[in-house]
Amino acid sequence: MWRRYDGDDWEAFDVLPPAIRQRVAEHAYDAWSVNVMVLWRHYRRLHGRTPRAERALIRYLDYCERLERAAFAARYAQAYGAALPHDAAGATILRGRPADASVR
């Protein structure tokens, strides 16, 4: 479905802005940090190193995640003749912790 670029995933992850690193860490699938770094360079050229560029890339990562999830659900349905249990249950993807959660 996607092309994976070569490179050091940890090094690529470390150069990303904090908001994008957080989103990559929460991605339901492996977002491939090198690919995200390539995308970040593209968005920086378009918008500069701004919060707008970060938001645009995060929206794009959300879109990619929806595509990945839909493709996986379709393959699951074809293989097993039923909806992906996560989808059938109406479950959402967990991200971070709720704002009111306390750390103990």
* Residue 36 covered by a domain: yes
Q: In angstroms, rounded to a whole number, what is the distance separating the alpha carbons of residues 69 and 103?
A: 30
* Residue 102 covered by a domain: no
* Residue 100 covered by a domain: no
Query: Domain limits at 82?
Result: 9-88
| pTM, entire model | 0.82
* Residue 99 covered by a domain: no
Whether 100 has a pLDDT exceeding 60, the answer reads no
pLDDT of residue 84: 92
Do 22 and 57 touch, CB atoms closer than 8 A? no
* Residue 20 covered by a domain: yes
Whether 104 has a pLDDT exceeding 50, the answer reads no
- pLDDT tens string 43-95: 999 999 999 999 999 999 999 999 999 999 999 999 999 999 989 999 888 77
* Residue 1 covered by a domain: no
In Å, how far from its chain's centre is CA 3? Answer: 15
* Residue 93 covered by a domain: no
DSSP 28-84: SS---HHHHHHHHHHHHHHH-SSHHHHHHHHHHHHHHHHHHHHHHHHHHHHHHSS--
Number of domains in the chain: 1
Residue predicted with more confidence, 43 or 98: 43
